Structures are given as structure tokens and as C-alpha cells.
Structure 1
Amino acid sequence: MQWEAPAEGTALPPLVCVHGGGGQSTDWFGVSADAPGWAPRAVEVGYPVYLLDRPGHGRSPYDPTRLGERTPFPDYAGAAALFAPDPGDPTPFNPAWEWERLPGSPELDALVASSGGILLNTALSQELDARRLVDLLERTGPAFLITHSAGSSAGWLAASRAPALVRGIVAVEPIGPPCRDLGPRGSLEYGVTAVPLDGVGRRPLEALPVLIVSGEASGRAENDAATTAFLADRGASATHVRLGDLGVTGNGHGLILEANAGHALAPVLRWLATQQAQ
């Protein structure tokens, strides 16, 4: 875990960023110095930002005796298929990845270098993620969470277990749709999580402000819409934003680190400002 805050101090609440899948906290910095990711951009506008490495990822060492098996590290083809598909492929194409898409490209090299395997025991992974996140929140105080992809489950669990510490959640293309079968990794047995959402004397996500963000070119918007509906049914105040509807186009699943990351972040900053004003 690391953190950064404006040198001159700030009155803005902290943001805690939780990375996705086989990534790590450095994903929030971006893959090019010329196109910073969401973390440095949030600090620039005044937010203290905490970057969490989920157990078994990045700077949180992988211990197979405690964490079990994990999937193989993604190769260039696997990373590119998810974050930088070839324009000729039938899969969604994201022109917001403005760089080369072949090995040797500094940006794709950086993305692959930061990628690792995913724990096969999803329930264990999410349980450990949630514990680590709650532990961090007990030190930062109430914060907004910004989660990406598979990291979103930690956010839902932390909000259900420590509601006073989670002011709201921005979930960027969260893992879904609800009850998704993850194959050898298990399933989202409890809708958006693989372990129960335990509300303490309340509905698990009662009145939780949530913003779900979908890239225009990722092909995930319908899944995100289903996740939004599931959360709303559980009491959350959930809103779904499709970046394409706001004129932010070409984004794939890695919209937090693509060349137009600043444009993708702008509606999130507006939402955060609205929540703080309430």
C-alpha cells in the first residue's frame, strides 16, 4: 500500500483505490508518463489517495500455502485481448489505447509487466481483500472507494461490514453480471460477491452512494447495468454512467489508464463533489 496527498494539504476526503483482476496498485498511475492514470490526477485536484495491493498481488507477496493456486501470468496476447485488442479482432476495439499493441511497445510492456495471476479460490481472495480494505479504512477514516473490475467485490464487502467508513463507491466496470459463473474460480454466489454481504442490523448496502462507470468500447455496459440494478435492489443509491453518453469515447476495460484517462475521470470527480455537498 502507498499513499500520496497534495503538498499544501487538503480538506477533501481520502480516496482508496482497489485494483482489479491480476493487476496491482500501480495500475492507477497509468502506463505512460505522458498520460497519467487516475491516482495522480486525483491528487492534482486535491484528494489524498491511498493505493491498496490486494493480497497475493503486486507488493502484497503471493504465498501459495496461504492463498492456494492461481492462474498463470497473462502473456502479451492475453493482456492485449483484455486491454488493447487488435483493431481487426471481432472483440470490442478501444481506440483510447492510443499506443502500439505489440510486444516492445513501452506502454504494453508496462501493462504486461504489472500483471500477475488471479487466485483460483475467489471466496478466499475476496474475504482477504475485504479484511485488508477495512483495516486500511480504520486508519484513514471515512473514505470514498474507487474499485476496478474484480476489485469491486472488496468494496461491496467493506461497505456492508463497515458502513460508517465508506462514504460511497465508484466501481469501474465491476466484476459481473450478478451471480456470474467464474469457472474454476467459483462463482459470484451472493450476486456481486463470492462471500455473503452481511449488513449489521440493516440491509447490507442501505443508502450507499454508488457510481458504476462503463467504457464506451469495452462491451461491458449491459453487465454493469445488471449490477447497478442488483445493488439498487439491495438498498444502494446506485447510478450507472456510460462514458460514451457523455462524449467520452473509445474506452475499453482499462479506462483508468488509457490515453484519455483524464476525460474518463472527469464525471467521477463531478459525482464525488456532488456527494460531498450532500
Structure 2
Amino acid sequence: MTGPAPHELADPVHRRRGAFWLPGDLQHTDGRPWQLGPAWVQWEAPAELTGRPPIVFVHGGGSQSTDWLGTTGAPVGWAELAVRAGYPVYLLDRPGYGRSPWDPARLGGKTPFPDYPGLELLVPRDEARAAAHTAWPWGRTAGSPHADAQVASSSGMLRDLALSQELDARRLVDLLDRTGPAVLVAASAGAPSGWLAADRRPGRVRAVVALEPLGPPHRDLGPLGRLSEGLTAVPLTRSADGTALPCLATVPVCVVTAEASGRAEADRSSVRFLRDAGVPVDHLDLVEHGVTGSGHGLAHEENNADAWALVASWIEDRLGPPVRR
């Protein structure tokens, strides 16, 4: 041991916290009951409730809810920043990821688990992209604590895209039925569950913040499948003529784009798709607000607090002041 233990460095705080399971869908095989796609949730809230709505954080593909805890990059994650700002937070491990069990016989196979070169999406290693990705100032190869943590927390993605999104949506709806109306903050391949949950429970979703959501629309993801419904592989409620998304149109939406991820054009296409479907969308391009050098993992990079501040400001603008019960 070369220095203080993590608990010795932490600030003493008093919080409300807990965890629970969301049971999966009850199935029967040869008369024996079992669950399809259960999910684990942990939560934390300020000791004194502020009247702010819960925020449900949904991680991206091949990841888990630890992304929101600051365990791979910046020492303080978005979950902690949100609690400090007075929000209760709920962290969902999507079915088949993190602490939510992956049973390949029931959920199907996964893509290969990432190795260090496989971090290219989050932590580019080529010279030009790495130079632009200044919000990740740490090492990118084996032996760097931050790269080591990112690899340790990563897994493959479920190959059945439609099943994965459907189970994500079902568990997210189950969670909203427990939390009451909440803000959804969903990253990358977790974003389709946000669109689907808002479509199925628009009265339970105060707003959706999509961090570089899976796209562009109708994207072919090779062996994983295709975004056949535009931004999802599972049908959304559409108007009679098929052109509008009437349930999503009632929910404030913000799409967030980082500078150095290479996702800007895909995000612009996703924003156009939503607007064309009658969904009012704000596009928060971080670099236009002075948050530079962020990559696809913007919530756990060095400047994540700056990115969070912009998102928090947007949430407050759309939802108004907190309402104490």
C-alpha cells in the first residue's frame, strides 16, 4: 500500500442509500418457472430531500452502472454530482450487464469482451484522435490505472439487439413505476431504452437526456442487427400516418454531443429524425459551450463536472424549481 486507503480520502457524508432487484419476466420451461432479464438497481439520495425529481442513469453498451460512479476516470462521477445538487439517483445495470446476470442460454451470446485496443470507441489511441481527446489525459494502454479500470468494467454487447432493448425498456418501466416521475439520463446504446420507456410511460418521464445516443437512424449494426425503427430496434408508438412519435413529443429531450468522439454528424442525424417526428429536441453540443476535448465516455472524463453542469442547467430550465412535498 503506497498511500491512504480510499475510505481515508473520502469526505464524510450522511446519505440515504439502498439497492434492490427488478425481477425479470416470468417464464416457464417444462413447468419450471424462471426469470428473463432481471436487473439490479442501486440508489442514493441526499439526507434532506430537496423536492428535485429522481434521475435514472442508464449506461451504454458493453458497460455497467459503475460508469456513473467515477471509477474509471474523474474521481467524482455524475451520480455523486447529481446527489450533491439535490437529486435522488438510481443506477440501473441493464439486463445482462454488470450485476444483472447474463445467461447466454436465455439472453443469447455477446460480442467479444473488449481488450485494450478495443477501447478505441471510448479512448482512441491513434495520434490524431488522441490529441483531440484532451479530457482523457491519462494513459491508454495496459498498466495505466484508468485504462485498466475501463477494461475491467467492460464486457461484450448482447448480440440480439431487439431482445436487449426490449428487456432494457421493460426493466426501466418497472423502475419508473417504483420511483415515480423521473429524469432519464441514458448513454450511447442505453439511449434506446430511454426512447422506449418515454414512449410507454410518458407521464413517468420528466425528461430524457441522451448522451451521444445510438445512431444515426436506421443504422446497420452488423451481427447485432439494425435500428429498424429509426433510433430503436423495437417499435415505438406512431401516429396513424406513421410520421410522428406522439408519446415522445410530450417529453422534453436533450441530445448531448462531445467534441472529440467523432459522433457529431450521427447525433445531428438523430436530432433531425426526432424533430421530423414532432419531438421537440435541444441539441447540446458541448464544445459550443466551452467544454472541449470530451470523448464518447464524457460522463467519466476529467472535465465531466463541466459537462454535468450544462446538463443540470438544462434539466433545471426545462423542469423549473424543485417542488417540496
Alignment TM class, shorter chain as reference: over 0.9
Q: In structure 1, the residue corresponding to 2:208 is in which secondary structure? A: strand
Q: Which residue of 1 aligns with 2:112?
A: 72
Shift of 1:10: 1.9
Q: Is the 8 A contact 1:83 1:253 kept in 2?
A: yes
- 1:213 aligns with 256
> Counterpart of 2:151?
112
Q: In the alignment, which residue of structure 2 is the partner of 1:25?
A: 65
The range that moved more, 145-154 or 89-98, is: 89-98
- Alignment size in residue pairs: 277
Kindly report which structure 2 residues correspond to 1:18-167, keeping only aligned pairs within 5 A, or say none.
Answer: 18-31=58-71, 35-79=75-119, 81-86=120-125, 88-89=127-128, 93-167=132-206
Deviation at 1:36, TM superposition (A): 1.2
Q: Could you report, residue by residue, the CA deviation over 1:57-99 in whole angstroms, capped at 9, with x for unpaired residues?
A: 00001011110111110001101x1122125155784110111
For the 8 Å contact 1:208–1:235, the answer to whether it is kept is: no
Secondary structure of 2:253's counterpart equals: strand
Change (3 A) 1:207 1:123: same
**Which runs of 5 or more structure 2 residues have no equivalent in the other structure?**
1-40
Distance 2:264 2:207 in 1: 21
Code of the residue aligned with 1:277 in structure 2: it is G
In 1, Cα distance between equivalents of 2:129 and 2:97: 31
Distance 2:57 2:129 in 1: 32
Percent identity of the aligned residues?
A: 56
Are the structure 2 counterparts of residues 108 and 125 from structure 1 closer, same or farther at C-alpha, using a change threshold of 3 Å?
A: same
Query: Which of the pair is proportionally richer in strand?
Result: 2
1:12 to 42, 52, 66: 52
Between the aligned partners of 1:275 and 1:214, the Cα distance in structure 2 is 19
Aligned equivalents of 1:262 and 1:241: distance in 2? 15
2:297 counterpart residue number? 254
Larger of the two Rg values belongs to structure = 2
Name the structure 2 match of 1:174: 213
**Correspondence 1:241 to 2:281:** no
**Residue type of the alignment partner of 2:78:** W
Structure-1 separation of matches of 2:160 and 2:74: 37
Q: Which has the higher contact order (CA 8 A, sep 6+)?
A: 1
1:51 counterpart SS class:
strand
Q: State how far apart, in whole Å, the 2-side matches of 1:93 and 1:13 are.
A: 36
Helix, strand or coil at the partner of 2:267: helix
Which secondary structure does the structure 2 equivalent of 1:5 belong to?
strand
Is residue 173–residue 213 contact of structure 1 (8 Å, CA) maintained in 2? yes
User: Which of 24, 27, 42 matches 1:2?
Assistant: 42
Q: Match of 2:202, as an amino acid?
A: P
Shifted more, 51-60 versus 229-238: the winner is 229-238
- Preserved contact between residue 160 and residue 199 of structure 1 (Cα < 8 Å): no
Provide, for residues 139-158 of structure 1, a one-character-per-residue CA deviation record: whole Å limited to 9, x for no partner: 00000000000000000000
CA RMSD of aligned residues (A): 1.7
- Give SS of 1:72's match: coil
